[in-house]
Amino acid sequence: MLVFNFWLFAGLAMISALLCITRRSPVVSALWLIVTMFSIAALFIILGGQFIGAIQVLVYAGAIMVLFLFVIMLLNLGRGEPTDIPGWWGKAITLGIGIVLIVELWAVTRIVPAGEIRLPAGTMEQVMDQQGAVGAISNTLFRDYLVPFEIASVLLLAAVVGAVVLAKRRL
Amino acid sequence: MTPELKGFLLLGLVKAAVGFGLLLLGVAFVTWLERRQAAFHQDRLGPNRVGPFGLFQPIADGIKNFIKEELVPADANRVLFLLAPALVFTPGLLLFAVIPFAAPMPVSFDFTLPLLGRFVYDDAMPMMIANLPIGLLFVLAVSSLGVYGIVLAGWASNSKYSFLGGLRASAQMVSYEVALGLSVISVFLVAGNVTLTGVVEAQQAKLWYILPLTLGFVLFVVSALAETNRLPFDLPEAESELVYGYHTEYSAMKFAMFFLGEYAALITMSALMATLFFGGWDIPFTSWDEGEPSVVASLATLIVFIIKTFAFVFIYIWIRWSLPRFRYDQLMALGWKVLLPIALGYIMLLATAIWLLEYFNVEQDLLYGLILFVVNLPVIYVLFWILDSGRLVFGHGLQRRITS
C-alpha cells in the first residue's frame, strides 16, 4: 500500500512537473505546478512528515501559487513561445546542465548515507507519539536550533525589506 | 488485509458517506433557512409553498437546476470553466472531515461477507471522519485551496465582471487567511494541542475557550466571514456592482455547485466556531457525556453540536441581512492594518500571560479563564477604538468633524 501510494504521487509529481514546463499558457502551467506541489505534500505525509505536508499545501499550494496566478492573470499573458532559450549555444548549455543533473540523480540513488544521519527505524513514530506531529518539529526548532532559526528569519526579513525598497522607490 | 483493518476501512467509508450526506442535507436546509430568515428580517414570508413551511423548496430548486440548460460561453477556457465549480465544492466538503461532531460511539461487529471476507471492529468509534494528528492545520491548508475555484471561475469565464470578481476574491481570501490562521493560534496556545479532539477534550475538562479567548473568537468570526465571501465581505460577488462576480457566466447545476460549496463552507466555519470556542459537542454543566462512551451520549452530543452549529449559521445570516457591504479599500485596510497587527499583538500578550500563569502554577479553571479574559480587555478596547475611530461611541468626534 505504501509503495503503491509512493509511486502514485511520485508519478503524479513527475507528470505534472513535465506538463508544467511544456504547456504554452502560463495559467495552465501554474495550475500544473500546483498539482506538483500537492503531490510533494502527499509524499511528505507518506514519509510521516504530516506537519511538513500540511505546511507545504498551506504555504506553497495555498499562498505562493495564488499570488503567482494572481500576477499571471493581471498581466493577461497569451500563449508563450515554444522555448525561450535563445540560440544554438543556449540549447547546448541547457542540454549539458540537464545531463549533469540526471547523472547527479543517478549518483544519489547509488550512495548509501552514512550511519549517523540515518535515524533508527521507528524513531519518527516514537517521537510523534510522545510530542505530537507539531511538537516534534517545534521542540527541535525553538529549543535545540533556536539561534540558526532566528538567523534564517533575519535573512528572510532582509529579503522582505529589500523587495519593498526595490518596489517602492519613494517610501 | 486483516479483518480489523477491513472493519476500520468499512467504518471509515460509512462515516464518510453519512457525514457528507448529513452535511449536504444541512446545506439544503441552510439555503431554505437563509431565504426564510431573510424574509423574516425584511418583514415578508419567504418560500412557504412547497411542503410544510416550504421545507421542500431546496428539493424543488435542485430539480430546477438539474433540468436547466448548461451553457458554456464561446470564448471561455472550456476545461478550466468546467473544473472551477468542482474546485469550489470539494474543499468545502473536505474541511468537514476533521471536525468531531459527537462523543465517541461504541461500535462492535464481526461478520463475514462472501468474496470480501471477515470484518471486525470493537472499540469506541471517534465521531469524526478522519482523526488526523495535524487536525487544525489540515483545516487551514484545505481552506487555502478554496480560492482556486473562484479565481479560475473568474478567469476561465473570460468576462469582465467574472474576472474582477475572481481578482477581488483572490486578494481578499489571501489577506484574511493570515488573520484566520493567527486567531486559531490563540486556541493552540491555550489548548497546547492542534488536533480538534484535543481542543474539545481540553474544553470539556475545564472551560470553554470563549472566556479566555474572547478576542480570538471575534477575530475568527470576522476573518471567517471574509473567507467564506459572506456579507459584509461579499465583494467577489457584489451583485450590485459585478452582476454576480465570478459565477456570472455559470448556469444550471454548475451554478448550484458554487452555491453548495459556499454553504458547505458556511456550515463548516460555524462548526469550527462551535468546536474551537464553544466546547464542540460538549453538553454544558454536565459531565456524563464525557464518561463511558454510549450510544445515548453520542446521539445527545450530536444534537447539541447541531444546535451550536446552527446558532452560528443563524448569526451568519443575521449579519448578512443587517450590515452593508464594505468598500474594497476598507476591506483591505481592515485586513492588513487592523486585524493583522492586533492579532499579532494579541498572540504576544496571550503567550506572555499563559507563560506567567504556568510559572505561577495556575490550574486551567475558571480563575485562569477570568485572568485571561482580563488580559483580552485592553486589546478589545484597542480594536473597538480603531474600528470606531470616534464615530459612534465617542460622538463628540463626529460633532467636531461636522462643526469643522
Whether the predicted pLDDT of A99 surpasses 90: yes
Mutate to test the interface with A, among B145, B151, B201 (most CBs of A within 10 A): B145
The pLDDT, as a whole number, for residue A57 is 87
What is the domain-level CATH number for residue A13? 1.20.120.1200
Domain co-membership, A39 together with A90: yes
Does residue B9 fall inside a structural domain? yes
Q: How many structural domains are present in chain B?
A: 1
Angle between helices A26-46 and A2-22 (to 10 degrees): 160
Domain co-membership, A85 together with A154: no
Whether the predicted pLDDT of A48 surpasses 60: yes
Residues of chain A contacting residue B151, judged by C-beta atoms under 8 Å apart: 66, 69-70, 73
Beta strand B117-127 with B102-113 is antiparallel
Domain co-membership, A89 together with A60: yes
Most confidently modeled range among A128-132, A157-161, B23-27: A157-161
Mutate to test the interface with A, among B1, B2, B137, B147 (most CBs of A within 10 A): B137
Share of chain A above pLDDT 90, in %: 20
In angstroms, the separation between the Cα of residue A99 and the nearest Cα of chain B is 35
With H, G, I as helix, E, B as strand and everything else as coil, classify residue B30.
helix
The pLDDT, as a whole number, for residue B363 is 75
Burial class (CB in 10 A: 0-12, 13-18, 19+), B344: middle
Does residue B242 fall inside a structural domain? yes
Does residue B363 fall inside a structural domain? no
Q: How many structural domains are present in chain A?
A: 2
Pick from B176, B183, B140: nearest CA to B376? B183
Domain co-membership, A113 together with A154: no
Contact between B175 and B335 (Cβ < 8 Å): yes
User: Taking CA atoms, what residue in B is nearest to A55?
Assistant: B141
CB-nearest to B134 from A34, A54, A69 is A54
Domain co-membership, A109 together with A126: no
Domain co-membership, A95 together with A161: no
Domain co-membership, A100 together with A167: no
Domain that holds residue B286: 3-346
The pLDDT, as a whole number, for residue A100 is 95
* Beta carbons of A66 and B163 less than 8 Å apart: no
Contact between B321 and B41 (Cβ < 8 Å): yes
DSSP type of residue B284: T
Pick from B213, B136, B197, B169: nearest CA to B331? B169
Does residue B95 fall inside a structural domain? yes
Domain co-membership, A131 together with A154: yes
In angstroms, the separation between the Cα of residue B135 and the nearest Cα of chain A is 10
The pLDDT, as a whole number, for residue B289 is 67
The tens place of each residue's pLDDT in chain B, 404 residues long, gives 677 777 788 888 888 888 888 888 888 888 888 888 888 888 888 888 887 887 888 888 888 888 888 888 887 778 888 888 888 888 888 888 888 887 777 777 777 777 777 777 777 777 788 888 788 888 888 888 888 888 888 888 888 888 888 888 888 888 888 888 888 888 888 887 788 888 888 888 778 888 888 888 888 998 888 888 777 887 777 677 777 777 777 877 888 888 888 888 888 889 888 888 888 787 777 777 666 777 777 888 888 888 889 999 998 888 888 888 888 888 888 888 888 888 898 898 888 888 888 888 777 777 777 777 888 888 888 888 777 765 655 555 556 666 66
Mutate to test the interface with B, among A57, A64, A72 (most CBs of B within 10 A): A57
Domain co-membership, A112 together with A128: no
User: What are the E-state strand segments in chain A?
Assistant: none
Amino acid found at A106: W
Containing B119, the helix (H) or strand (E) segment is strand B117-127
A54 and chain B: CB distance < 8 Å anywhere?
A: yes
Report the distance separating Cα B18 and Cα B16, nearest Å.
6
CB pairs A-B closer than 8 Å: 71
Domain co-membership, A71 together with A153: no
* Beta carbons of B193 and A67 less than 8 Å apart: no
In angstroms, the separation between the Cα of residue A96 and the nearest Cα of chain B is 36
State whether ipTM is beyond 0.85. no
- Residue by residue, DSSP assigns B286-319 as --GGGSS--HHHHHHHHHHHHHHHHHHHHHHHHH
Phi-psi region of A9 (alpha: psi -120 to 50; beta: other; left: phi over 0): alpha
Domain co-membership, A105 together with A168: no
Whether the predicted pLDDT of A155 surpasses 90: yes
pTM for this prediction: 0.84
Domain that holds residue A31: 2-117
User: How many helices (H) and strands (E) are present in chain A, helices listed first?
Assistant: 7, 0
Pick from B259, B214, B229: nearest CA to B143? B229
Q: What does the block give as the cell for B315? A: 448569526
Domain co-membership, A80 together with A159: no
In angstroms, the separation between the Cα of residue B198 and the nearest Cα of chain A is 11
Does residue B334 fall inside a structural domain? yes
